[in-house]
Chains A and B, each alone.
Chain A
Amino acid sequence: MIELKDVSVTYSSGVDALHNVNLKINDGDFAFVVGASGAGKSTLIKLILKEITPTSGTVTVNGYHLNRLRRRRIPALRRTIGFVFQDFRLIPSMTVYENVAFVLRVIDAPTKYIRKRVPYVISLVGLQEKAYSYPDELSGGEKQRVAIARALVNDPQLIIADEPTGNIDPELSYEIVKLLQSINEIGTTILMVTHEHTLVRQFGGRIINIDQGQIVFDEVIGGDLIREA
Protein backbone atom coordinates (compact mmCIF):
# COMPACT_ATOMS: atom_id res chain seq x y z
CA MET A 1 0.00 0.00 0.00
CA ILE A 2 1.14 3.52 -0.80
CA GLU A 3 -0.08 6.47 1.21
CA LEU A 4 0.96 10.10 0.82
CA LYS A 5 -0.46 12.64 3.27
CA ASP A 6 -0.09 16.37 2.57
CA VAL A 7 3.18 15.74 0.76
CA SER A 8 5.14 18.62 -0.70
CA VAL A 9 8.57 18.42 -2.29
CA THR A 10 10.66 21.49 -2.97
CA TYR A 11 14.09 20.83 -4.49
CA SER A 12 17.14 22.78 -3.38
CA SER A 13 16.95 24.64 -6.70
CA GLY A 14 13.65 26.09 -5.48
CA VAL A 15 11.47 24.05 -7.85
CA ASP A 16 8.15 23.03 -6.28
CA ALA A 17 7.84 19.49 -7.63
CA LEU A 18 4.87 18.33 -5.56
CA HIS A 19 2.45 20.48 -3.65
CA ASN A 20 0.22 19.17 -0.88
CA VAL A 21 -0.40 15.78 -2.48
CA ASN A 22 -2.72 13.24 -0.85
CA LEU A 23 -2.81 9.82 -2.43
CA LYS A 24 -3.73 6.31 -1.35
CA ILE A 25 -3.15 3.21 -3.45
CA ASN A 26 -4.44 0.06 -1.83
CA ASP A 27 -2.96 -3.41 -2.03
CA GLY A 28 -3.98 -5.09 -5.28
CA ASP A 29 -4.77 -1.84 -7.12
CA PHE A 30 -3.72 -1.11 -10.68
CA ALA A 31 -3.26 2.59 -11.25
CA PHE A 32 -2.00 4.66 -14.16
CA VAL A 33 -0.17 7.86 -13.27
CA VAL A 34 -0.32 10.31 -16.15
CA GLY A 35 0.87 13.83 -16.60
CA ALA A 36 2.98 16.03 -18.81
CA SER A 37 6.75 16.12 -18.57
CA GLY A 38 7.78 17.97 -15.41
CA ALA A 39 4.37 17.50 -13.79
CA GLY A 40 5.86 15.63 -10.80
CA LYS A 41 5.54 11.95 -11.83
CA SER A 42 9.25 11.22 -11.38
CA THR A 43 9.28 12.99 -8.03
CA LEU A 44 6.42 10.74 -6.92
CA ILE A 45 8.45 7.65 -7.87
CA LYS A 46 11.55 8.99 -6.15
CA LEU A 47 9.52 9.49 -2.99
CA ILE A 48 8.16 5.95 -3.08
CA LEU A 49 11.65 4.51 -3.59
CA LYS A 50 12.99 6.76 -0.83
CA GLU A 51 15.43 8.39 -3.18
CA ILE A 52 14.29 11.70 -1.75
CA THR A 53 12.52 12.77 1.43
CA PRO A 54 9.45 15.03 1.33
CA THR A 55 9.85 18.62 2.40
CA SER A 56 6.62 18.20 4.35
CA GLY A 57 3.98 15.51 4.80
CA THR A 58 4.30 11.76 5.33
CA VAL A 59 4.88 8.84 2.97
CA THR A 60 4.09 5.21 3.82
CA VAL A 61 4.97 2.38 1.42
CA ASN A 62 4.30 -1.30 2.12
CA GLY A 63 4.24 -0.60 5.84
CA TYR A 64 7.45 1.43 5.89
CA HIS A 65 7.15 4.99 7.20
CA LEU A 66 9.60 6.61 4.84
CA ASN A 67 10.04 9.83 6.81
CA ARG A 68 11.51 7.81 9.66
CA LEU A 69 13.24 5.15 7.57
CA ARG A 70 16.97 4.94 8.21
CA ARG A 71 19.33 4.81 5.27
CA ARG A 72 20.48 1.29 5.97
CA ARG A 73 16.85 0.09 5.89
CA ILE A 74 16.26 1.40 2.36
CA PRO A 75 17.31 -1.92 0.72
CA ALA A 76 14.66 -3.71 2.80
CA LEU A 77 11.99 -1.30 1.50
CA ARG A 78 13.13 -1.68 -2.09
CA ARG A 79 12.95 -5.47 -1.84
CA THR A 80 9.18 -5.11 -1.44
CA ILE A 81 9.02 -3.14 -4.70
CA GLY A 82 9.66 -4.29 -8.23
CA PHE A 83 10.78 -1.54 -10.56
CA VAL A 84 10.47 -1.44 -14.34
CA PHE A 85 12.41 1.29 -16.12
CA GLN A 86 11.51 2.93 -19.41
CA ASP A 87 14.96 2.08 -20.81
CA PHE A 88 14.91 -1.47 -19.36
CA ARG A 89 18.22 -1.04 -17.50
CA LEU A 90 19.33 -4.63 -17.80
CA ILE A 91 22.92 -5.43 -16.90
CA PRO A 92 24.49 -5.94 -20.34
CA SER A 93 27.15 -8.37 -19.14
CA MET A 94 24.54 -10.75 -17.70
CA THR A 95 22.25 -13.16 -19.52
CA VAL A 96 18.47 -12.96 -19.17
CA TYR A 97 18.63 -15.68 -16.53
CA GLU A 98 21.39 -13.89 -14.60
CA ASN A 99 19.62 -10.54 -14.78
CA VAL A 100 16.53 -12.04 -13.21
CA ALA A 101 18.39 -14.28 -10.75
CA PHE A 102 20.42 -11.31 -9.62
CA VAL A 103 17.49 -9.89 -7.64
CA LEU A 104 17.23 -13.14 -5.68
CA ARG A 105 20.99 -13.11 -5.09
CA VAL A 106 20.56 -9.66 -3.58
CA ILE A 107 18.08 -11.00 -1.02
CA ASP A 108 20.38 -13.96 -0.35
CA ALA A 109 17.84 -16.51 -1.57
CA PRO A 110 18.98 -20.17 -1.53
CA THR A 111 20.52 -21.33 -4.82
CA LYS A 112 18.01 -24.17 -5.00
CA TYR A 113 15.13 -21.70 -4.86
CA ILE A 114 16.78 -19.46 -7.47
CA ARG A 115 17.14 -22.42 -9.87
CA LYS A 116 13.45 -23.15 -9.50
CA ARG A 117 12.00 -19.65 -9.37
CA VAL A 118 13.92 -17.91 -12.16
CA PRO A 119 12.97 -20.25 -15.05
CA TYR A 120 9.36 -20.10 -13.83
CA VAL A 121 9.25 -16.29 -13.91
CA ILE A 122 11.05 -16.18 -17.25
CA SER A 123 8.43 -18.55 -18.63
CA LEU A 124 5.67 -16.28 -17.22
CA VAL A 125 6.89 -13.48 -19.48
CA GLY A 126 7.29 -15.94 -22.35
CA LEU A 127 11.07 -15.80 -22.72
CA GLN A 128 12.09 -19.35 -21.81
CA GLU A 129 13.77 -19.70 -25.21
CA LYS A 130 15.91 -16.62 -24.56
CA ALA A 131 17.00 -17.42 -21.01
CA TYR A 132 20.67 -17.57 -21.95
CA SER A 133 20.68 -14.65 -24.38
CA TYR A 134 22.33 -11.35 -23.52
CA PRO A 135 20.26 -8.13 -23.47
CA ASP A 136 21.76 -6.84 -26.73
CA GLU A 137 20.47 -9.95 -28.47
CA LEU A 138 16.86 -9.09 -27.55
CA SER A 139 14.25 -6.79 -29.08
CA GLY A 140 12.85 -3.81 -27.13
CA GLY A 141 9.70 -5.71 -26.17
CA GLU A 142 11.74 -8.71 -25.02
CA LYS A 143 14.03 -6.52 -22.96
CA GLN A 144 11.03 -4.97 -21.26
CA ARG A 145 9.63 -8.42 -20.51
CA VAL A 146 12.95 -9.35 -18.90
CA ALA A 147 12.71 -6.15 -16.86
CA ILE A 148 9.21 -7.19 -15.77
CA ALA A 149 10.43 -10.67 -14.90
CA ARG A 150 13.18 -9.09 -12.84
CA ALA A 151 10.64 -6.87 -11.07
CA LEU A 152 8.44 -9.87 -10.41
CA VAL A 153 10.91 -12.53 -9.37
CA ASN A 154 11.09 -11.81 -5.65
CA ASP A 155 7.31 -11.64 -5.44
CA PRO A 156 7.09 -7.95 -4.48
CA GLN A 157 3.97 -6.36 -3.01
CA LEU A 158 4.21 -3.49 -5.47
CA ILE A 159 5.53 -3.04 -9.00
CA ILE A 160 6.28 0.45 -10.25
CA ALA A 161 6.59 0.69 -14.01
CA ASP A 162 8.06 3.99 -15.15
CA GLU A 163 7.01 4.56 -18.78
CA PRO A 164 7.47 0.84 -19.53
CA THR A 165 6.11 1.28 -23.05
CA GLY A 166 8.12 4.40 -23.82
CA ASN A 167 10.79 2.63 -25.84
CA ILE A 168 8.76 -0.03 -27.63
CA ASP A 169 6.30 -0.36 -30.53
CA PRO A 170 2.59 0.39 -29.89
CA GLU A 171 1.61 -3.25 -30.50
CA LEU A 172 4.16 -4.41 -27.96
CA SER A 173 3.01 -1.70 -25.54
CA TYR A 174 -0.38 -3.34 -25.46
CA GLU A 175 1.24 -6.70 -24.63
CA ILE A 176 3.30 -5.18 -21.84
CA VAL A 177 0.25 -3.61 -20.18
CA LYS A 178 -1.62 -6.89 -20.55
CA LEU A 179 1.29 -8.63 -18.87
CA LEU A 180 1.23 -6.12 -16.00
CA GLN A 181 -2.52 -6.60 -15.70
CA SER A 182 -2.12 -10.36 -15.43
CA ILE A 183 0.48 -9.83 -12.68
CA ASN A 184 -2.01 -7.52 -10.95
CA GLU A 185 -4.61 -10.26 -11.09
CA ILE A 186 -2.45 -12.44 -8.82
CA GLY A 187 -2.54 -9.68 -6.19
CA THR A 188 0.46 -7.47 -6.91
CA THR A 189 -0.17 -3.72 -6.75
CA ILE A 190 0.84 -2.02 -10.00
CA LEU A 191 1.62 1.65 -10.41
CA MET A 192 2.29 2.46 -14.04
CA VAL A 193 3.57 5.88 -14.97
CA THR A 194 2.90 6.80 -18.58
CA HIS A 195 2.24 9.72 -20.86
CA GLU A 196 0.52 7.53 -23.48
CA HIS A 197 -3.08 8.63 -23.12
CA THR A 198 -4.21 6.31 -25.92
CA LEU A 199 -3.00 3.30 -23.97
CA VAL A 200 -4.66 4.53 -20.78
CA ARG A 201 -7.95 5.16 -22.61
CA GLN A 202 -7.72 1.71 -24.14
CA PHE A 203 -7.31 -0.13 -20.83
CA GLY A 204 -9.09 2.22 -18.42
CA GLY A 205 -8.96 1.65 -14.66
CA ARG A 206 -7.74 4.03 -12.00
CA ILE A 207 -6.18 7.11 -13.56
CA ILE A 208 -4.18 9.59 -11.48
CA ASN A 209 -3.38 12.76 -13.38
CA ILE A 210 -0.64 14.98 -11.99
CA ASP A 211 -0.26 18.53 -13.20
CA GLN A 212 2.15 21.11 -11.86
CA GLY A 213 2.83 19.07 -8.74
CA GLN A 214 -0.79 18.46 -7.82
CA ILE A 215 -3.21 15.62 -8.38
CA VAL A 216 -5.87 17.10 -10.60
CA PHE A 217 -7.73 13.90 -11.41
CA ASP A 218 -8.00 10.57 -9.58
CA GLU A 219 -10.85 8.38 -10.78
CA VAL A 220 -11.65 4.98 -12.19
CA ILE A 221 -12.74 5.11 -15.80
CA GLY A 222 -13.90 2.40 -18.12
CA GLY A 223 -11.52 1.72 -21.00
CA ASP A 224 -12.31 1.17 -24.68
CA LEU A 225 -11.44 -2.49 -24.20
CA ILE A 226 -13.99 -2.77 -21.43
CA ARG A 227 -16.61 -0.87 -23.48
CA GLU A 228 -15.86 -3.03 -26.53
CA ALA A 229 -16.42 -6.10 -24.42
Chain B
Amino acid sequence: MKLSGFNYLIGQGAENIWKNRMMAFASFCVLLVSLLLVGMSVLFYMNLNSMIGGVEDKNEVIVYMDEDTSDEELVEFQTQLAQIGNISKITFYSKEQAFEDLKTSMSDYQVLFDSLGDDNPLIDGFRLRIDDISTISTTIAEIEQLDHIYSIRAPMDFVNILTELRKIVTVIFGVIIAALFVISVVIVSNATKASVFARREEIMIMKYVGATNAFIRIPFFVEGMITGFFAGCVALAVTWFGYDSLVGLLTGQVDILSVIGMGSIISFQDLAWKVAVAYLLSGTLFGAFGSMLSMRKHLNV
Protein backbone atom coordinates (compact mmCIF):
# COMPACT_ATOMS: atom_id res chain seq x y z
CA MET B 1 0.00 0.00 0.00
CA LYS B 2 1.29 3.44 -0.91
CA LEU B 3 1.85 6.06 1.78
CA SER B 4 -0.94 8.23 0.33
CA GLY B 5 -3.31 5.26 0.60
CA PHE B 6 -2.28 4.66 4.18
CA ASN B 7 -2.74 8.33 5.05
CA TYR B 8 -6.17 8.20 3.42
CA LEU B 9 -7.19 5.26 5.63
CA ILE B 10 -5.92 6.97 8.79
CA GLY B 11 -7.85 10.09 7.76
CA GLN B 12 -10.94 8.00 7.10
CA GLY B 13 -10.71 6.53 10.60
CA ALA B 14 -10.59 9.99 12.16
CA GLU B 15 -13.35 11.26 9.88
CA ASN B 16 -15.58 8.28 10.67
CA ILE B 17 -15.68 9.30 14.32
CA TRP B 18 -17.42 12.51 13.37
CA LYS B 19 -19.60 10.88 10.73
CA ASN B 20 -20.74 8.20 13.16
CA ARG B 21 -20.58 10.43 16.21
CA MET B 22 -23.51 8.94 18.08
CA MET B 23 -22.11 5.42 17.96
CA ALA B 24 -18.60 6.74 18.60
CA PHE B 25 -19.89 8.58 21.67
CA ALA B 26 -21.63 5.44 22.92
CA SER B 27 -18.39 3.43 22.49
CA PHE B 28 -16.47 6.22 24.22
CA CYS B 29 -18.85 6.18 27.22
CA VAL B 30 -18.73 2.40 27.53
CA LEU B 31 -14.94 2.40 27.35
CA LEU B 32 -14.77 5.22 29.90
CA VAL B 33 -17.02 3.46 32.41
CA SER B 34 -15.14 0.17 31.95
CA LEU B 35 -11.77 1.84 32.46
CA LEU B 36 -13.03 3.67 35.54
CA LEU B 37 -14.53 0.52 37.05
CA VAL B 38 -11.35 -1.49 36.68
CA GLY B 39 -9.01 1.44 37.40
CA MET B 40 -10.75 2.56 40.58
CA SER B 41 -10.92 -1.02 41.87
CA VAL B 42 -7.20 -1.48 41.29
CA LEU B 43 -6.44 1.80 43.08
CA PHE B 44 -8.67 0.84 45.99
CA TYR B 45 -6.92 -2.52 46.22
CA MET B 46 -3.49 -0.87 46.11
CA ASN B 47 -4.45 1.45 48.97
CA LEU B 48 -5.92 -1.35 51.03
CA ASN B 49 -2.74 -3.32 50.48
CA SER B 50 -0.68 -0.31 51.45
CA MET B 51 -2.71 0.09 54.65
CA ILE B 52 -2.07 -3.54 55.55
CA GLY B 53 1.58 -2.89 54.70
CA GLY B 54 1.53 0.13 57.01
CA VAL B 55 0.31 -2.02 59.87
CA GLU B 56 2.86 -4.69 58.99
CA ASP B 57 5.64 -2.10 59.16
CA LYS B 58 4.84 -1.67 62.83
CA ASN B 59 6.08 -5.22 63.50
CA GLU B 60 8.93 -5.67 65.92
CA VAL B 61 11.07 -8.64 66.78
CA ILE B 62 13.18 -8.36 69.92
CA VAL B 63 16.31 -10.46 70.36
CA TYR B 64 17.46 -10.66 73.97
CA MET B 65 21.14 -11.34 74.47
CA ASP B 66 22.87 -13.54 77.04
CA GLU B 67 23.82 -11.59 80.14
CA ASP B 68 27.55 -12.23 79.78
CA THR B 69 27.81 -11.01 76.18
CA SER B 70 30.72 -8.58 75.85
CA ASP B 71 30.54 -5.26 73.98
CA GLU B 72 32.75 -6.67 71.19
CA GLU B 73 30.43 -9.67 70.84
CA LEU B 74 27.44 -7.34 70.69
CA VAL B 75 29.05 -5.39 67.84
CA GLU B 76 29.84 -8.61 66.00
CA PHE B 77 26.32 -9.86 66.61
CA GLN B 78 24.91 -6.67 65.07
CA THR B 79 27.14 -7.15 62.03
CA GLN B 80 25.90 -10.73 61.65
CA LEU B 81 22.29 -9.54 61.93
CA ALA B 82 22.86 -6.99 59.19
CA GLN B 83 23.97 -9.82 56.90
CA ILE B 84 20.63 -11.60 57.28
CA GLY B 85 18.17 -10.48 54.62
CA ASN B 86 14.61 -9.34 55.28
CA ILE B 87 15.56 -7.10 58.21
CA SER B 88 14.92 -3.46 57.44
CA LYS B 89 16.00 -1.91 60.72
CA ILE B 90 18.26 -2.96 63.60
CA THR B 91 18.30 -0.95 66.82
CA PHE B 92 20.43 -1.84 69.78
CA TYR B 93 18.41 -1.67 72.97
CA SER B 94 20.81 -1.52 75.94
CA LYS B 95 19.83 -2.91 79.31
CA GLU B 96 20.39 0.61 80.77
CA GLN B 97 17.96 2.11 78.30
CA ALA B 98 15.50 -0.71 78.96
CA PHE B 99 15.78 -0.09 82.69
CA GLU B 100 15.18 3.65 82.26
CA ASP B 101 12.17 2.96 80.06
CA LEU B 102 10.82 0.51 82.60
CA LYS B 103 11.21 3.05 85.38
CA THR B 104 9.34 5.63 83.34
CA SER B 105 6.50 3.29 82.48
CA MET B 106 6.23 2.07 86.08
CA SER B 107 6.76 5.38 87.88
CA ASP B 108 4.13 4.46 90.48
CA TYR B 109 6.36 1.66 91.71
CA GLN B 110 9.42 3.81 92.39
CA VAL B 111 9.88 2.10 95.72
CA LEU B 112 10.48 -1.16 93.91
CA PHE B 113 13.28 0.34 91.85
CA ASP B 114 14.76 2.02 94.91
CA SER B 115 15.08 -1.37 96.56
CA LEU B 116 17.14 -2.61 93.63
CA GLY B 117 19.72 0.13 94.09
CA ASP B 118 22.29 0.00 91.26
CA ASP B 119 21.37 -3.55 90.23
CA ASN B 120 19.88 -3.76 86.78
CA PRO B 121 18.04 -7.10 86.34
CA LEU B 122 17.41 -6.51 82.60
CA ILE B 123 19.54 -7.68 79.66
CA ASP B 124 20.73 -6.11 76.36
CA GLY B 125 18.66 -6.66 73.26
CA PHE B 126 18.17 -5.74 69.62
CA ARG B 127 14.92 -4.41 68.15
CA LEU B 128 14.42 -5.57 64.60
CA ARG B 129 11.95 -4.45 61.94
CA ILE B 130 11.10 -7.22 59.46
CA ASP B 131 10.67 -6.35 55.79
CA ASP B 132 8.36 -9.09 54.55
CA ILE B 133 6.52 -10.53 57.48
CA SER B 134 5.14 -13.44 55.49
CA THR B 135 8.65 -14.99 55.69
CA ILE B 136 9.31 -14.00 59.31
CA SER B 137 9.65 -17.65 60.43
CA THR B 138 12.57 -18.23 58.09
CA THR B 139 14.24 -15.02 59.24
CA ILE B 140 13.84 -15.95 62.90
CA ALA B 141 15.23 -19.42 62.21
CA GLU B 142 18.32 -17.74 60.69
CA ILE B 143 18.72 -15.45 63.69
CA GLU B 144 18.46 -18.43 66.03
CA GLN B 145 21.61 -19.85 64.44
CA LEU B 146 23.64 -16.97 65.88
CA ASP B 147 25.48 -17.17 69.25
CA HIS B 148 24.81 -15.32 72.52
CA ILE B 149 21.01 -15.28 72.17
CA TYR B 150 19.03 -15.59 75.34
CA SER B 151 15.58 -15.49 73.74
CA ILE B 152 13.64 -14.07 70.78
CA ARG B 153 10.23 -12.41 71.04
CA ALA B 154 8.31 -12.29 67.75
CA PRO B 155 4.69 -11.14 67.22
CA MET B 156 3.64 -14.39 65.54
CA ASP B 157 -0.14 -13.98 66.11
CA PHE B 158 -0.01 -10.48 64.66
CA VAL B 159 1.99 -11.75 61.69
CA ASN B 160 -0.36 -14.66 61.04
CA ILE B 161 -3.44 -12.43 61.10
CA LEU B 162 -1.92 -9.87 58.73
CA THR B 163 -0.63 -12.52 56.34
CA GLU B 164 -4.07 -14.12 56.21
CA LEU B 165 -5.75 -10.71 55.83
CA ARG B 166 -3.48 -9.84 52.92
CA LYS B 167 -4.22 -13.19 51.26
CA ILE B 168 -7.98 -12.71 51.68
CA VAL B 169 -7.89 -9.14 50.37
CA THR B 170 -5.77 -10.21 47.40
CA VAL B 171 -8.11 -13.09 46.53
CA ILE B 172 -11.30 -11.02 46.94
CA PHE B 173 -9.98 -8.11 44.90
CA GLY B 174 -8.41 -10.44 42.37
CA VAL B 175 -11.86 -11.93 41.78
CA ILE B 176 -13.59 -8.52 41.74
CA ILE B 177 -11.06 -7.00 39.32
CA ALA B 178 -11.11 -10.08 37.08
CA ALA B 179 -14.94 -10.03 37.06
CA LEU B 180 -15.01 -6.30 36.28
CA PHE B 181 -12.47 -6.88 33.54
CA VAL B 182 -14.58 -9.64 31.98
CA ILE B 183 -17.74 -7.50 32.27
CA SER B 184 -15.88 -4.60 30.66
CA VAL B 185 -14.68 -6.78 27.80
CA VAL B 186 -18.24 -8.01 27.20
CA ILE B 187 -19.74 -4.49 27.36
CA VAL B 188 -17.03 -2.97 25.15
CA SER B 189 -17.33 -5.82 22.67
CA ASN B 190 -21.12 -5.40 22.52
CA ALA B 191 -20.83 -1.64 22.06
CA THR B 192 -18.33 -2.02 19.24
CA LYS B 193 -20.42 -4.83 17.72
CA ALA B 194 -23.42 -2.49 17.69
CA SER B 195 -21.31 0.25 16.14
CA VAL B 196 -19.94 -2.10 13.47
CA PHE B 197 -23.38 -3.65 12.86
CA ALA B 198 -24.74 -0.20 12.07
CA ARG B 199 -22.13 0.00 9.33
CA ARG B 200 -22.28 -3.58 8.04
CA GLU B 201 -23.71 -2.31 4.75
CA GLU B 202 -20.71 -0.03 4.29
CA ILE B 203 -18.37 -2.97 4.95
CA MET B 204 -20.28 -5.15 2.48
CA ILE B 205 -20.05 -2.46 -0.23
CA MET B 206 -16.32 -2.22 0.38
CA LYS B 207 -16.01 -5.97 -0.05
CA TYR B 208 -17.97 -5.91 -3.32
CA VAL B 209 -15.80 -3.22 -4.83
CA GLY B 210 -12.71 -5.30 -4.09
CA ALA B 211 -11.40 -3.83 -0.85
CA THR B 212 -8.97 -6.06 1.02
CA ASN B 213 -9.70 -6.88 4.65
CA ALA B 214 -6.81 -4.66 5.73
CA PHE B 215 -8.24 -1.73 3.77
CA ILE B 216 -11.57 -2.13 5.57
CA ARG B 217 -10.05 -2.78 8.97
CA ILE B 218 -7.55 0.08 9.20
CA PRO B 219 -10.13 2.91 9.48
CA PHE B 220 -12.08 0.92 12.09
CA PHE B 221 -8.84 0.25 13.94
CA VAL B 222 -7.87 3.92 13.88
CA GLU B 223 -11.37 4.96 14.90
CA GLY B 224 -11.36 2.55 17.85
CA MET B 225 -7.87 3.64 18.81
CA ILE B 226 -8.75 7.34 18.88
CA THR B 227 -12.01 6.72 20.77
CA GLY B 228 -10.19 4.50 23.27
CA PHE B 229 -7.37 6.99 23.70
CA PHE B 230 -9.80 9.80 24.55
CA ALA B 231 -11.73 7.51 26.90
CA GLY B 232 -8.36 6.81 28.60
CA CYS B 233 -7.62 10.56 28.86
CA VAL B 234 -10.99 11.35 30.43
CA ALA B 235 -10.75 8.32 32.74
CA LEU B 236 -7.35 9.62 33.88
CA ALA B 237 -8.73 13.11 34.54
CA VAL B 238 -11.77 11.75 36.42
CA THR B 239 -9.65 9.38 38.49
CA TRP B 240 -7.11 12.08 39.29
CA PHE B 241 -9.76 14.55 40.37
CA GLY B 242 -11.82 11.93 42.25
CA TYR B 243 -8.80 10.41 43.94
CA ASP B 244 -7.27 13.71 45.01
CA SER B 245 -10.64 14.91 46.32
CA LEU B 246 -11.05 11.73 48.35
CA VAL B 247 -7.52 11.95 49.75
CA GLY B 248 -8.14 15.62 50.58
CA LEU B 249 -11.32 14.64 52.40
CA LEU B 250 -9.57 11.90 54.38
CA THR B 251 -6.63 14.16 55.27
CA GLY B 252 -9.05 16.34 57.22
CA GLN B 253 -10.42 13.39 59.16
CA VAL B 254 -7.99 12.82 62.04
CA ASP B 255 -10.06 9.94 63.46
CA ILE B 256 -9.96 7.98 60.24
CA LEU B 257 -6.28 8.74 59.69
CA SER B 258 -5.39 7.48 63.15
CA VAL B 259 -6.93 4.13 62.20
CA ILE B 260 -5.55 3.70 58.70
CA GLY B 261 -2.35 5.72 59.09
CA MET B 262 -1.68 8.76 56.94
CA GLY B 263 1.40 7.22 55.33
CA SER B 264 -0.66 4.26 54.13
CA ILE B 265 -2.63 6.33 51.62
CA ILE B 266 -0.81 6.37 48.32
CA SER B 267 -0.68 9.86 46.83
CA PHE B 268 -1.86 10.14 43.22
CA GLN B 269 1.40 11.83 42.25
CA ASP B 270 3.22 8.60 43.13
CA LEU B 271 0.95 6.67 40.78
CA ALA B 272 0.20 9.26 38.10
CA TRP B 273 2.55 7.85 35.45
CA LYS B 274 1.51 4.26 36.01
CA VAL B 275 -2.20 5.13 35.99
CA ALA B 276 -1.79 7.31 32.89
CA VAL B 277 0.07 4.62 30.97
CA ALA B 278 -2.40 1.91 32.07
CA TYR B 279 -5.47 3.97 31.15
CA LEU B 280 -4.19 5.29 27.84
CA LEU B 281 -2.70 1.99 26.75
CA SER B 282 -5.65 -0.18 27.73
CA GLY B 283 -8.16 2.38 26.39
CA THR B 284 -6.37 2.55 23.05
CA LEU B 285 -5.88 -1.21 22.75
CA PHE B 286 -9.41 -2.04 23.92
CA GLY B 287 -10.88 0.44 21.45
CA ALA B 288 -8.73 -0.61 18.53
CA PHE B 289 -8.93 -4.38 18.87
CA GLY B 290 -12.56 -4.29 20.02
CA SER B 291 -13.52 -2.64 16.73
CA MET B 292 -11.36 -4.91 14.67
CA LEU B 293 -12.53 -8.15 16.24
CA SER B 294 -16.19 -7.14 16.13
CA MET B 295 -16.10 -6.61 12.39
CA ARG B 296 -14.53 -9.96 11.58
CA LYS B 297 -17.76 -11.77 10.76
CA HIS B 298 -18.89 -8.94 8.48
CA LEU B 299 -15.80 -9.45 6.35
CA ASN B 300 -16.91 -12.88 5.19
CA VAL B 301 -18.71 -11.64 2.07
- Residues of A at the B interface (CB closer than 8 Å) are 49, 51, 72, 75-79, 81, 83, 89-91, 93, 102-103, 105-108, 110-111, 150
A20 CB to closest chain B CB (Å) equals 27
> Which chain B residues lie closer than 8 Å to A90 at the CB level?
205
Residues of chain A with a CB closer than 8 A to B1's CB: 108
Contact B208 A49 (CB under 8 A): yes
The chain B residue with its CB closest to the CB of A80 is B210
Contact of B210 among A89, A91, A107 (CB under 8 A): A107
Whole-angstrom distance between the Cβ of B1 and the nearest chain A Cβ: 6
Within 8 Å CB of B201, what residues of A?
Answer: 89, 91
In the complex, are the beta carbons of B2 and A108 less than 8 A apart?
A: yes
**Is B215 close to A, CB under 8 A?**
yes
Q: From residue B4, how far is it (CB to closest CB) to chain A in Å?
A: 6
B301 CB within 8 Å of chain A? yes
| Chain B nearest CB, measured from A78 CB (Å) | 4
Q: How big is the B interface, by class? A: 20 to 34
* B202–A91 touching, CB < 8 Å: yes
Asked whether, in the complex, the Cβ of B8 is within 8 Å of the Cβ of A105, the reply is yes
Q: Could you tell me which residues of chain B, from 195 to 234, have a CB within 8 Å of some CB in chain A?
A: 201-202, 204-212, 215
12 A-B contacts, Cβ less than 8 Å apart? A72-B212, A75-B211, A78-B208, A79-B210, A83-B208, A83-B209, A91-B202, A102-B206, A106-B206, A107-B210, A108-B2, A150-B209
Q: Is the CB of A105 within 8 A of B5?
A: yes
Tell whether B89 is near chain A: CB-to-CB under 8 Å: no
- Asked if residues A93 and B208 are in contact (CB atoms below 8 Å), the reply is no
Within the assembled complex, what's the spacing in Å between the Cα atoms of A77 and B211?
11
- Find residues 96-136 in chain B having any chain A CB closer than 8 Å to their own CB: none
**Contact of B251 with A by CB under 8 A:** no
Cβ of A209 to closest chain B Cβ, rounded Å: 26
| 10 nearest A-B pairs in the assembled complex, by CB-CB distance | A79-B210, A78-B210, A93-B19, A75-B210, A106-B211, A108-B5, A103-B209, A75-B212, A83-B208, A89-B205
Minimal beta-carbon separation of B162 from chain A (angstroms):
59
- Known contacts A89-B204, A108-B5; 20 additional CB pairs below 8 A are A72-B212, A75-B210, A77-B210, A78-B207, A78-B209, A78-B210, A79-B209, A81-B210, A89-B205, A89-B208, A90-B205, A91-B201, A93-B202, A102-B209, A105-B8, A106-B212, A106-B215, A110-B2, A111-B4, A150-B209
Could you tell me if B205 and A106 are in contact, using CB atoms closer than 8 angstroms? no
Assembly CA distance A216 to B301 (angstroms): 29
